[in-house]
Amino acid sequence: MPVEEIFVPCAGRLQPELVLKAFESGSSFVCMIACQDDNCHAVEGCLRARRRLDYVRGLLEQIGLGGDRLAMFQLPGSAQEDMAAGENNPLQSHVSDAALHQQIRTICDAVTAKVSALSPNPLYKHQEIAEEISAVEETDDNED
């Protein structure tokens, strides 16, 4: 299952359209890793991100996709710093901040469990069907 990471300078700058585009492109689950509220260099970035994700979660419920396909977790440093710290095996003994690595491992386990429990994104299936229909129509047009 491919995973794509997208880094933004601040979680609060993530626009709802980008999250929706991920689902439109076939993602079954979107997870945002943000800094903690009290460690936000943009002061209210995490609060803004949470409000936007709640808004998108509501849209996902309205269209029948389900708001449970969207999650936000917070770590003590910047998300990029924290995830870079977790790129190696978080359980390796040379890691100095065991608490941070345990948080990262907990997030990874939670996301893995959530994705495993979800059905594939039905929007992506509709997109594939639409592309197949379009290809057939183009073939029919070329035969005329």
pLDDT digits (tens, 9 = 90+) for 74-125: 887 655 555 565 555 444 433 357 888 888 889 989 998 998 898 888 877 6
pTM across the whole model: 0.68
CA dist list (Å): 103 to 82, 92, 110: 10, 14, 10
Mean of all residue pLDDT scores within the chain? 77
Tokens representing residue 69 in the block: 């396909």
